Amino acid sequence: MDTRTLDARNFGRDIAHIDLTRGQVEMRPAPAEWVRKYIGGRGLGVRYVFENGVDVDPLSPENILCFMNGPLSGSEVSMSGRWAAVTKSPLTGTVTDSHQGGWTGARVRWAGFDGLVFEGRAEHPVYVFIEDGRIEIRDARDCWGLGIHDTVAHFRERYGAKNLSVNAIGQAGERLSRFAVWVNEDDRAFGRGGIGAVGGSKNLKAIVVRAATRKSDVPDREAWQAARKGALDGIRDEKNITSPKKGGLSVYGTNVLMNVTNSIGALGVRNSQETSFGERAESLSGEYVEENLLTGNPTCHACPVACKKEVEVKDGPWKGLKMESVEYEPAWALGANCDVDDIRSVAKLIDQCNDFGLDPIELGNVYSLFMECSALGATKGETLAWGDDAAMVALTEKLALREGVGDALADGAVAAAEHFGHPELAMAVKGQAVPAYDPRGLKGMGLGYATSNRGACHLRAYVAAAELGVIGIEADPLAWKGKGELVMTFQDLTAFSDSLDLCKFSAFAEGADEYAAQWGAATGVSCSAEDVMRAGERVYNLERHYNNLAGFREGSDTLPKRFTEEASTLSGSKGHVSELDAMLAEYYEHRGWRDGVVPEEKLRALQVP
């Protein structure tokens, strides 16, 4: 790859460093070498966090909180309405990044900024206002204590709704819940790793940005138009049943996966004690939502897929609730995993997460853990029964406000399991709870959880796309052989697309060639698919190196014993466990790691850091 012309579009020059302690904003360009090696978005954010040091307390003023656009964020490229938040996680102690759709990232770019790096801690609650190349730190004491919905309404009343994005934390972030999130446009979240708590620790309530659409500044518009058209044609390909536009995403949203995953015995139920919800899964599915609750199909910037599904609850105790949207992961976590099959209650719980600012995946795992411990009589007088959706709704407010038993639950599944004396019942990896794919029914996803650099995660390597047959690559979900290389490939490609920053679903129609063409056209770089994969590998190894230095060394890539020792008893995956050790051996061989640790020779070969 010829990197000499990488600065043709000057990406990475407009990084705002916001010192909340001193109340000052300073523009400092990202070092050119960092941009060449780590691209933008996730990769560039990780490089900043690495430079800040591995020994910082995640909730101290010394931790930094990076919001990073990629070189494609906010452009005309399809599915480019994403940006990344990167920090040291208060939930896991690892480096973490999370990505958010909607319009905030695009508007930050249109206002003139490639990234925001927050340092220090404000003396009192503040927000930043961004418009036309300027950033101001303003007083937020009048909205501290508000939920996210009211915070959004507060700023829309002040600044008007046109061309305005509000990205905020709720009460959970203010009270430093270690799985608190940032949310924009009421429901699109930086969802994992406790990034909202980092905002709360800095007295940072919101990022408010007002900006109108601007045309992408590219060195070769003809090449740019050809690259983006080629990618868009793949997304819209009516002959490709797995394309995100042709497939079920546009019709049913991400929750199209509920029935599919359930049918193969890979849907965790009752804190993953079982692997199928049987016929009850249908009432939580995207098909059921489309028929009974759907009211609209909103979308993110530059997205032709429209996987978000606006819903309204039409009967029951939550009648009149309007929200977007009932995603697959939250519907599983707060539904099947808690023995709840009422989609109306699940919608209410998801809306509470969006308002209080909580990760619904972690919350569902916390509740299912609480339910299992209650059934064992291990909860010290407080109980939560399987399927008690009304009690879950009531408890969510207590958890967000750290009241009563909610205080013990507000730091995540691992902390809650230790509180109840059953650490083995936390379905978590590196401190973060598992998503909606049971490793006994989807072997590659289990390996992906174990080797994820940010704790259990389905988005570091979405090999479910291959194991469920929703992309051109197919893999037997119950076979472990070959999953090491497959997971590594998905991890590296995803690390690159997260650095551009493009939606994960772009990978249903695009690969390294398409990413290389769009990146090259945007920056003036001549690059290949091999360059794309090498850059993704570098990002992934930098993250792993950070974690190694932070204490995650040999033996850190694990799964809960429930997945490796307790065989599935239900159809689709009956008799199966996760053969994690065998898959790890294969994975490490392909990675060139030694039991999860990146050796010096690998770091030198990749020029890390």
For the chain, the structural domain boundaries read 6-210, 248-433, 443-606
* Nearest alpha carbon to residue 443 among 591, 579, 269: 579
Decide yes or no: CATH 3.40.710.10 for domain 248-433. Answer: no
Predicted structure pTM score: 0.97
Residue 131 CB partners (closer than 8 Å, separation 6+)? 111, 209, 210, 211
**pLDDT value for 2:** 37
Q: Which residues of the chain have pLDDT under 70?
A: 1-10, 238-247
CB contact at 8 A, 495 and 539: yes
Q: Into which CATH architecture does domain 6-210 fall? A: 4-Layer Sandwich (3.60)
From the list 23, 49, 12, 13, the residue with the least C-alpha distance to 128 is 23
Residue 10: what pLDDT? 62
What does the pLDDT read at residue 4?
A: 32
Pick the CATH number of 443-606 from 1.10.1660.10, 1.10.357.10, 1.10.599.10, 3.40.605.10: 1.10.599.10
Over the stretch 445-493, which tens digit does the pLDDT of each residue have?
Answer: 999 999 999 999 999 999 999 999 878 788 999 999 999 999 999 999 9
What pLDDT does residue 5 have? 35
**Which strands form 322-324's sheet, in the order they lie side by side?**
294-296, 310-312, 322-324
Q: What's at 299, amino acid-wise?
A: T
CB 113 within 8 Å of CB 12:
no
Helix or strand holding residue 204 (H, E): strand 204-210
Q: Is the dihedral of CA 124, 360, 301, 72 positive or negative?
A: positive
Tens digit of each residue's pLDDT (9 = 90 or more) over 244-296: 655 588 889 999 999 999 999 999 999 999 999 999 999 999 999 999 999 99
